[in-house]
Amino acid sequence: MPVAYSNVFLQSAGMFLPGAPVDNAGMDAFVAPLNRISERLKRRILAENGILTRHYAIDGEGATVFSNAQMAAGAIEQTLAGAGQSLADIGFLSSGSSGGDALMPGFANMIQGEMAAPPMETLSVHGVCAASVGALQAAAMAVESGAHRLALSVASEMPSRLFKRSRFAAQGYDTDFDAHFLRWMLSDGAGAVLLGGPKALPQINGLRLQLKWTHLRSFAGDYPVCMQLGLTADRGKSHLDFPAWGDAEAAGALSLRQDIRLLPHLFDVCIHEYADLAHKGWVPERGIDHFLCHYSSERFIPVVDDLLGKAQLSIPRERWWSNLAWRGNTGAASIFIMLSEFLQQKGSSLKAGDTVLCFIPESGRFTAGYMLWEAVADTPAAPAPAYPRQPAHAGDAIADDALPDVSTIAPPHDPAAAPKALAPLLTELASIWQDYRSSVWRTPLLQRIRTRQLHTQDYVRWMSQWIPQVREGSLWMREGAASLTGDYAALAALIDLHAGEEQNDFKILHSDYLQAGGTQTDITQLRRNPGGEALNAYLHSLAATPNPIGLLGAIYIIEGTGQRIVPSLLPLLRAALALPPEAFRFLEYHGANDEHHLERWLMAVQMTLELDSTGTAQQAILQTARHTAAMYLMQFQHVRPEQ
């Protein structure tokens, strides 16, 4: 759950950008092309990311001009000057970064040493982009608890040293796309914030910026590594496992890599987490006034915008603010640099009550970070927190480990076209989906797929158990359609159409099974595992009841699996198994087609809610979605390797 604050205010924010801005044409002087394809990759990547200028802390010869600690010190000095404070006033310093100048000691201690600062409490948060949120959260808690009057948080990044052409000499100036990609994406810089208590001086227009809450949640247990430094390209070997550093460099283990195929899932996870926060009352009902979104590329603007819309949490584009185009992507430092420059350029337009939401998605191992600030009038007492610290009623309380941490809103839906009554249902379904998705990714089957420990016989066994389950899908749908009566009979045609499209899917899956080495040609001899048996029995039983509109909840989970989970598995399976493309046709087909199925699902839900005169349809759909998710999860859990 988010951490709420009532006594934490922004005293000042500052930044340090090394050297003069470097435009796209001038990049080659710092990040030189490696080979004949480098220029083509550069043009493609820059055309998508929208970055026009950035800063580097190295010179054209690759020599360091400013160290990472020196940049952090520069940001701190500007921040302290803005608040009229000195290092002697600071009792707490936290840093966030993907790495300082030394592997040890901690970066915060190195910054303290660089500045010859007096003794103080320090904390070094190591990570990628969201490390800044972790560092700020620690500083905020130091102030909120009363342990410190003032607390500094700084984030600084210096990836340019990794991108010098000389770094790739041991690889013959050749590397894979994942290592090429970040050379044209990242740059250097530092940002800092100073936090204090309610006696903070007014910053702008007689207003102070109060930190309302922070939220930081990692989904590392759900997805493979997306951005990493120190592992080989296949993530199978650490740089420390090589006989010497030179061997690790030659093997590419010291190249910074990003698996761009996983990036769309990062925004799914993070926006859905935000939807869950909104559902729990942490987002003002009137919306957000200023949105500072740390996207790494302008290519992701419509992705974030679309997902917010699907969550019915749209933030008008005129309220977005980013300096990516002229400051570049500085990793963990980005959000502090953005906040500092936003206040410089837009602070005078703030009004009492305005909210500023900072959104920080981290691709390293998928982490979602958020900060919500509010402009408050200069009054003697801080206002009471406007956001929940705990559920209002004991009977409504949910244990933290049971809370859904919403990730992708499975079905595409247009909030402008959806009836007003649909929003609560979609939000509840989103929470159910997130809990289910996260649990599926942690099952033994998917863990073996992620770590490339899945064997062909495991894949064949999974298919053999899945085929008879898929075979029943069109049968229970048609049975459910036949059970619709009265006004609900109008839904039968939609469900029958859906069933007709899927009635032969099991044959494609059986063909994949045979291509992978399966031997049972008689499909009737294949058996579902216990999870599949439970799901099949439940859905047939429900389909036989009068007007089983709850089946729409089952379709949401089943089709969402095909649209969101299956496409993620396909490249991992192909990488792990030496099988022909014909062994994966079912997975490829569903990843490409289930989105259209879910559009039809939304139409059916809209019709159902309009026809519902008893007010029971929504709960029936939700209940069936919960039960289906639990039993489909069992199906994944019972796919086990042979003992």
Q: What tens digit of pLDDT does each residue of 545-565 get?
A: 999 999 999 988 988 888 778
Alpha helices in 561-616 (DSSP H): 566-576, 585-611
The DSSP annotation for 83-108 comes to: HT--GGG--EEEEEES--SSSSS-HH
Instruction: Look up residue 197 and give its two tokens.
Output: 């208590």
CATH topology of domain 422-637: Heme Oxygenase; Chain A (1.20.910)
* Side-chain half-sphere CA neighbours of 266 within 13 A: 27
Question: CB of 12 within 8 A of CB of 194?
Answer: yes
**The pLDDT of residue 249 is above 70:** yes
**The pLDDT of residue 417 is above 80:** no
Q: What pLDDT band is residue 66 in, cutting at 50, 70 and 90?
A: very high
The DSSP annotation for 338-396 comes to: HHHHHHHHHGGG--TT-EEEEEEEETTTTEEEEEEEEEEE--SSPPPP-S-SS-SSGGG
Q: What pLDDT band is residue 130 in, cutting at 50, 70 and 90?
A: very high
Q: What tens digit of pLDDT does each residue of 90-120 get?
A: 999 999 999 999 999 999 999 999 999 999 9
Strands 53-54 vs 227-228: parallel, antiparallel or unpaired: unpaired
Give the model's pLDDT for residue 228: 93
**The pLDDT of residue 468 is above 80:** yes
Q: What tens digit of pLDDT does each residue of 561-593 get?
A: 887 788 778 888 888 899 999 999 888 776 555
Question: CB of 528 within 8 A of CB of 468?
Answer: yes
**The pLDDT of residue 379 is above 80:** no
Burial state string for 479-507 with b = 16 or more CB within 10 A and e = fewer than 16:
bbbebbeeebeebbeebbebbeebeebbe
Give CA–CA dist 459/517, Å, rounded: 9
Residue with tokens 């992705």: 303
The sign of the CA dihedral 528, 529, 534, 539 is negative
Residue with tokens 């390797």: 641
Give the model's pLDDT for residue 280: 87
The sign of the CA dihedral 311, 551, 630, 450 is negative
489 vs 534, more confident: 534
Strand partners, 292: 321, 358
Q: What tens digit of pLDDT does each residue of 258-304 get?
A: 988 888 788 888 988 998 898 888 999 888 999 999 988 898 899 89
Average pLDDT in the chain: 87
Give the model's pLDDT for residue 398: 25
Give the model's pLDDT for residue 412: 41
Instruction: Look up residue 31 and give its two tokens.
Output: 């990040």
Mean pLDDT of 317-331: 96
Give the model's pLDDT for residue 407: 35
Alpha helices in 171-262 (DSSP H): 177-183, 245-250
Kindly report each contact of residues 398-402 with a partner whose C-beta sits within 8 Å and lies 24 or more positions away, as own/partner. 400/1
**Inter-CA distances, 35 with 38, 41, 429, Å:** 5, 10, 49
CATH architecture of 3-377: 3-Layer(aba) Sandwich (3.40)
Give CA–CA dist 272/293, Å, rounded: 15
**The pLDDT of residue 74 is above 90:** yes
Give the model's pLDDT for residue 253: 92
353 vs 570, more confident: 353
The sign of the CA dihedral 81, 86, 87, 90 is negative
Domain layout of the chain by residue ranges: 3-377, 422-637
Neighbours of 145 (CB within 10 A): 9
Q: What tens digit of pLDDT does each residue of 178-219 get?
A: 888 899 999 999 999 999 998 766 566 778 899 999 999 999
pTM exceeds 0.95: no
Residues of the chain with pLDDT > 70, as a percent, come to: 91
Give CA–CA dist 111/77, Å, rounded: 12
Give CA–CA dist 83/538, Å, rounded: 64
Specify the amino acid at residue 74: G
Give CA–CA dist 124/590, Å, rounded: 44
- Check whether the bond before 581 is cis (ω within 30° of 0): no
Using DSSP, state whether 452 is helix, strand or coil.
coil
Alpha helices in 116-261 (DSSP H): 131-144, 160-163, 177-183, 245-250
410 vs 15, more confident: 15
Using DSSP, state whether 192 is helix, strand or coil.
strand
The sign of the CA dihedral 245, 249, 251, 254 is positive
Which residue, among 195, 203, 192, has the nearest Cα to 5 in the 3D structure? Answer: 195
Give the model's pLDDT for residue 13: 96
- Distance between alpha carbon 201 and the CA centroid of its chain, in Å? 35
Give CA–CA dist 201/9, Å, rounded: 9
Specify the amino acid at residue 331: G
Using DSSP, state whether 147 is helix, strand or coil.
coil
Mean pLDDT of 41-55: 93
Instruction: Look up residue 222 and give its two tokens.
Output: 């759900």
Residue 580, judged by CB atoms within 10 A of its CB (0-12, 13-18, 19+), counts as exposed
Question: CB of 368 within 8 A of CB of 219?
Answer: yes
Residues of the chain with pLDDT > 90, as a percent, come to: 56
Give CA–CA dist 182/160, Å, rounded: 10
